[in-house]
A and B are shown apart, each in its own frame.
Chain A
Amino acid sequence: MGEFLRVLTDNASLFRDGFINTVKLFLIAGVGSLVLGTLLGAMRVSPIPALRAFGATYVNLIRNTPLTLVFAFLVFAVPKLDVNIDYFPSACIALTVYTSAFICEVVRSGVNTVATGQAEAARALGMTFAQVLTLIVLPQALRAMVPPLMSVLIAMLKNTTIAAGFSVLEAGAIPAYMAERGEPQFAVLTWIVIGFLILILPLVVLQRFLERKWAVAR
């Protein structure tokens, strides 16, 4: 047990820096993909065929691309076009682009849970598409979106570890450092699991809270 604790205390700054970057990646990509994903979701249910087609193509293209490939494209292929993006922003972009596709589908399925009569009634009152979506449909859709949305965000939190392979020092890079320092891998990996559990816990609590807050009798 003492040895197990020592692994953490001896390398505290590495664990701290690693998990801080994981949280940073998660927050930036989380906000980014919620915004982009909602926009894409709106496109997919919009009355304009071109936007619908764009949304569908985006989702089908990105959702079927391995995340590692999205990273590799940004880090190894884009510089060949003389476009220079630093590694941390690259990681944020890759995670945002990738996760948006999943959030888009969550938003779309949420919208589909709202009875069509709601949107029709709103349109009959003379509301525009934007008004129908933001004032009538999305608030009702949110309720159905919470559980799958949290699943997507939790998956994204774990996906941040891929950034370790593309020059972002986050939690996923810790094992490599520790192996080089000769630390026991069992303890190292256990601490990382504990770290992720601690990070995921607030998301689970948030999900419970939102579900309870928006619960209705049907």
Chain B
Amino acid sequence: MRMKRVAAVAMMASLALSAAACGKEGNPTPSGGGNASGGAQGDSCSTSGVTFTPKTDANVAGSQAFQKIKSAGKVVVGVKFDQPNLGYKDAQGKRCGFDIEIAQYVASTLGVDPAKIEYKEIQSANRETAIKGGEIDYYVGTYSITDKRKNDVSFAGPYFVAGQDLLVRKDDSSITGKDTLKGKKVCSATGSTPIQKVRDEGMTEPENIVEFKTYSECVSQLLDKKVDAVTTDDAILKGYAAQNPDELKVVGQPFSTEKYGIGLPKDDKAMRDYVNDQIEAAFTDGTWKKIYDGTLGKSGSPATPPQLERY
């Protein structure tokens, strides 16, 4: 009896581990193979190759946040770590993705060497708290600009515009957009804007709404056929689809507009204006496009820089 139990524990542990690893598995595609659909590099991070040289004469007059960064000689940046090609940390601890490189670019314009960035992994629910509490200097991680959030933090950008979309199993042709979700199990991150939208607009029945802490867990459930669709911003979904191109696909009918901004401390207009200027410079001098093409662009879908919203 005892041996059986021991065997059960071993099985439980190995299964739990294999389930946890699911979101990170991937088929490494040869880089530079010219394959438009294969973008994800699985567990090994690859950057766009853009180098960010720190500005030596950086100065933001009248910004408290800048003074803090300058005297510390480093920046603390809040990021995500589990979104392939966006904000990702591989098994070797290397970080890569579109958001990460935007964060590095911003650091360089503030006169900080990207190597001196201290990354903090902040979950979506804790972003405002982390910025308000001064735990991080700024946040770059699929942070949608909303009026409500502007009460707590301020935003530079948008530096990217995404839209809510659906990730489904490749052989599933029954889901073609948001109006075909009735009776289907839809998964997203607990309490996230996309799942609140699904709930509020009644896209599927309340009992079919599934919520996990991370998108990786949702993708695991999708592959196990426990849910039928994963919904969030298309940028995030494409990263997963590229990791599992044989089993997953993105529907490609976005039904919202999410403007990604850089989260900054509230009431530091000087800093916000400065970061906006720098983003604009990256739009016009081609840096933005290089970063995009080397990260998210590997999914095969092109993008153009969005319109800044200064305030």
A213 located at the interface, meaning its Cβ lies under 8 Å from any Cβ of chain B in the complex:
no
Q: Which of B19, B151, B196, B212 contacts A177 (CB 8 A)?
A: B196
CB neighbors of A among B242-270 (8 A): none
Question: Residue on B with the closest CB to A177?
Answer: B191
Q: How far does the Cβ of B235 sit from chain A's closest Cβ, in whole Å?
A: 18
Give A35 to B217 CA distance when docked, in angstroms.
Answer: 33
A182 touches B210 (CB 8 A): no
Interface residue stretch chosen among B9-17, B154-162, B174-182: B9-17
B137 located at the interface, meaning its Cβ lies under 8 Å from any Cβ of chain A in the complex:
no
Q: Which A residues are in CB contact (< 8 Å) with B20?
A: 72, 76
Q: Which B residues are in CB contact (< 8 Å) with A69?
A: 12, 16
Question: Residue on A with the closest CB to B9?
Answer: A61
Q: Quick one: CB contact mask for B1-23 with A, threshold 8 Å, 1 for yes? A: 11001000100100110111000
Q: How far does the Cβ of B155 sit from chain A's closest Cβ, in whole Å?
A: 13
CB neighbors of A among B187-206 (8 A): 187, 189-193, 196
A77 touches B19 (CB 8 A): yes
B125 touches A79 (CB 8 A): no
B148 touches A181 (CB 8 A): yes
**Contact of A84 with B226 at beta-carbon distance under 8 Å, contacts A57-B2, A69-B16, A180-B192 already known:** yes
Q: Which A residues are in CB contact (< 8 Å) with B190?
A: 164-165, 173, 176-177
A173 touches B15 (CB 8 A): no
A182 touches B146 (CB 8 A): yes
Q: Which A residues are in CB contact (< 8 Å) with B209?
A: 169
Q: Which of B125, B210, B224 contacts A179 (CB 8 A)?
A: B125
Q: Which of A50, A167, A177, A180 contacts B210 (CB 8 A)?
A: A167
B82 located at the interface, meaning its Cβ lies under 8 Å from any Cβ of chain A in the complex:
no
**Contact of A73 with B1 at beta-carbon distance under 8 Å, contacts A79-B226, A180-B193 already known:** no
B16 touches A76 (CB 8 A): yes
Chain B residues with a Cβ closer than 8 Å to the other chain, count: 39
Q: Quick one: CB contact mask for B207-238 with A, threshold 8 Å, 1 for yes? A: 00111110001001100111000000000000
Q: Which of A53, A72, A176, A182 contacts B1 (CB 8 A)?
A: A53
A76 touches B220 (CB 8 A): yes
Q: How far does the Cβ of B256 sit from chain A's closest Cβ, in whole Å?
A: 14
**Contact of A178 with B191 at beta-carbon distance under 8 Å, contacts A57-B1, A76-B20, A167-B211 already known:** yes
Give A165 to B123 CA distance when docked, in angstroms.
Answer: 13
Give A54 to B4 CA distance when docked, in angstroms.
Answer: 11
Give A53 to B124 CA distance when docked, in angstroms.
Answer: 46
A129 located at the interface, meaning its Cβ lies under 8 Å from any Cβ of chain B in the complex:
no
B129 located at the interface, meaning its Cβ lies under 8 Å from any Cβ of chain A in the complex:
yes
Q: Which of B5, B127, B149, B191 contacts A61 (CB 8 A)?
A: B5
Q: How far does the Cβ of A124 sit from chain B's closest Cβ, in whole Å?
A: 33
Give A176 to B123 CA distance when docked, in angstroms.
Answer: 10
B19 touches A80 (CB 8 A): yes
B128 located at the interface, meaning its Cβ lies under 8 Å from any Cβ of chain A in the complex:
yes
Question: Residue on B with the closest CB to A61?
Answer: B5
Q: Which B residues are in CB contact (< 8 Å) with A179?
A: 124-129, 191
Q: How far does the Cβ of A185 sit from chain B's closest Cβ, in whole Å?
A: 6
Residues of chain B having any CB pair with chain A under 8 Å: 1-2, 5, 9, 12, 15-16, 18-20, 124-129, 146, 148-149, 151-152, 187, 189-193, 196, 209-213, 217, 220-221, 224-226
The 23 listed contacts between A and B (C-beta, < 8 Å) are A57-B2, A76-B19, A76-B220, A76-B221, A76-B224, A77-B16, A77-B19, A79-B221, A79-B224, A84-B225, A164-B190, A164-B211, A169-B209, A173-B211, A176-B190, A176-B191, A177-B191, A177-B196, A179-B124, A180-B124, A180-B193, A180-B196, A185-B129
Residues of chain A having any CB pair with chain B under 8 Å: 50, 53-54, 57, 61, 69, 72-73, 76-77, 79-80, 84, 87, 164-167, 169, 173-182, 185
9 more contacts with CB within 8 A, not counting A57-B2, A167-B212, A169-B211, are A69-B16, A72-B16, A73-B12, A76-B19, A164-B211, A167-B210, A178-B191, A179-B128, A180-B196
